[in-house]
Amino acid sequence: MTGTDVPADPRRRVPRTDHVLARPDVSAAVERIGRDRVKRAVHGAQERARRGEIVPEDVPAAALAALSGGSATITPVLNASGVLLHTNLGRAPLSTSARDAVARASGTCDVELDMATGTRGRRGAAAVDALLEAVPNAAAAHVVNNNAAAVALVATALASGGREIVVSAGELVEIGDGFRLPDLLQSTGARLRPVGTTNRTHLRDYTDAIGPDTAFVLKVHPSNFVVSGFTSEVDVADLAGIGVPVVADIGSGLLAPHPLLPDEPDVASTLAAGADLVTASGDKLLGGPQAGLLFGGAELVTRLRRHPLARALRVDKLTLAALEATLVGPPTPVRAALDTDPAELVARAERLAARLADDGVDARAVPTVATVGGGGAPGVELDSAAVSLPEPFAAALRGADPAVLGRLAGGRCLLDLRALPPEADDELAAAVHAVAPEI
């Protein structure tokens, strides 16, 4: 073989970075998401070509494919897990109206400006007014950045300096990622006065503990577990009038009762029962953005709002816009999922399974049980339906476009439809079709 017969090294054909960046489609990506990130994607594609994973001519396309998610690396996911409020998926998906509100507020806006006078206005006034309209028996409301922040603000404003918080021992909970409520409360400078036992607490335990150093009684809904058997707890109604403020952390953000969740506390009922303050989450059953919601008497809420810590815990304009739109707009995706007729889910699963089976996919429609999740309605089971696929689909679908999160059960991958709106069915089918050849 002569020297002229030796094939050229394909690595010599890898296009130069400046040539790739000069292409109209790549330069458009630079305008959209920034030169540095595009350049890194080009370098990554060039390295793939040098390793022989792609042909050199595919470098521009591979770079653009790596940038398909836009300027942020957070990946949209179709929630087919059967958990309505999946904490690892960001809990509540926002409604279309809330997303539109976020887009409108993302530029300059009147978040803290009175347009009539041209002077400083009340920050988030419209969102607070919407909260009070949704919970008419609340005299005042305030918004912070999550429910833990709401509890921390209450403890700091009312019990710092070593004053006591009386709370049932069975309600000193630990939630996800090792977060412990007693650690949060003690970090504010308050002292805890646990009463009762893990499984049983009586009214006399509270009354015996209250003294001159008591700042308030805290009632915590154990929203991510259920204690059953030989148990006893004291309701807010029985604590009302105990001589100190009663603060109820209900957690899940249900503003009014829901027929499917009879044991889940809601803001309106808790206030009516006599709570002086109620804290809740915005991104759970309310179906809005991450936020901590505070409801209660005007004097107490004003005291919290004017505390110096409130400035550090305040929410931004995007949260306020999304919260207002969630409250005044159409039913949220969470509410729609909660209220879906199980028969509709069965029909959707059967249609999807038949559609996939016609294309050679081992797909079956099966009945399933979904859950609320997100620290809400523990133990509540929701009738649902799913498309059952061979187990290898679970991992493949997590890497699909769009990404899909199902769950494994009985050696099969279940794509539960309870948390997915009907309009997502085509996307779900497309994702399954895209990965089917790999299985």
Residue 314: name the closest of 336, 291, 332 by CA: 291
Q: What is the CA radius of gyration of the chain?
A: 27
The most distant pair of C-alpha atoms in the chain lies apart, rounded to whole Å, by 100
| Contact assessment for residue 81 and residue 407, using Cβ atoms and an 8 Å cutoff | yes
Q: What dotted CATH number matches 77-89+336-438? A: 3.90.1150.180
Write the pLDDT tens digit of every residue in 256-314: 999 999 989 999 999 999 999 999 999 999 999 999 999 999 999 999 999 999 999 99
pLDDT score, position 1:
46
Per-residue pLDDT of the chain (439 residues; tens, 9 = 90+): 455 554 567 678 999 999 999 999 999 889 888 899 899 999 999 999 999 999 999 999 889 888 876 656 688 999 999 999 999 999 999 999 999 999 999 999 999 999 999 999 999 999 999 999 999 999 999 999 999 999 999 999 999 989 999 999 998 988 777 789 999 999 999 999 999 998 899 999 999 999 999 999 999 987 656 677 777 899 999 999 899 999 999 988 899 999 999 989 999 999 999 999 999 999 999 999 999 999 999 999 999 999 999 999 999 999 999 999 999 999 999 999 999 999 999 999 999 999 999 999 999 999 999 999 987 787 889 999 999 999 999 999 998 888 999 999 999 999 999 999 999 999 999 999 999 998 8
Residues ≥6 apart with Cβ < 8 Å to 145: 290, 291, 292, 313, 314, 315, 319
**CATH 3.90.1150.180 domain extents, the chain:** 77-89+336-438
Residue 167 has what pLDDT?
A: 96
Q: Annotate 281-319 with DSSP letters as a single string.
A: ESSSTT-SSS-EEEEE-HHHHHHHHTSHHHHHT---HHH
Which of 190, 196, 142, 424 is closest to 310 using CA atoms? 142
Burial class of residue 75 in the structure, from the number of CB atoms within 10 Å of its CB (0-12 exposed, 13-18 middle, 19+ buried)? exposed
Cα separation, 251 vs 224, whole angstroms:
10
Ordered DSSP codes for 232-271:
B---HHHHTTSSS-EEEEEES---S--TT-TTS--HHHHH
Q: What one-character-per-residue DSSP string does 137-198 give?
A: T-SEEEEESSHHHHHHHHHHHHHTTT-EEEEEGGG--B-GGG-BHHHHHHHTT-EEEEES-S
CATH number corresponding to 96-330: 3.40.640.10
**What's residue 7's pLDDT?**
54
Q: Cβ contacts of residue 144 below 8 Å, gap of 6+?
A: 150, 153, 291, 292, 294, 310, 313, 314, 315
d(CA 67, CA 38): 7
**With b meaning 16 or more CB within 10 Å and e meaning fewer, what string describes 122-157?**
ebbebbbebbbebbeebbbbbbbbbbbbbbbbbbbb
CA distance 369 to 431: 23
Identify residue 353 by its one-letter amino acid code: A
Cα distance between residue 250 and residue 185, in whole Å: 16
The sign of the CA dihedral 245, 155, 301, 142 is negative
Q: Give percent above pLDDT 70 in the chain.
A: 95
- By residue count, the chain amounts to 439
Q: Tokens at residue 271, please?
A: 């206030």
The CATH 3.40.640.10 domain(s) of the chain lie at 96-330
72 Cβ contact list (under 8 Å, min separation 6): none
**How far apart (Å, rounded) are the C-alpha atoms in residues 364 and 383?**
17
Strand pairing category for 113-114 and 364-370: unpaired
Helix axes 147-159, 298-305, angle to 10 degrees: 100
Q: Please give the C-alpha separations between residue 11 and each of 16, 47, 144, 430, in angstroms, as whole numbers.
A: 11, 10, 55, 35
* Residue 186: how many other CB atoms lie within 10 Å: 14
H-helix or E-strand containing 15? none
The per-residue pLDDT for 401 is 81
Distance separating alpha carbons of residues 15 and 138, to the nearest angstrom: 65
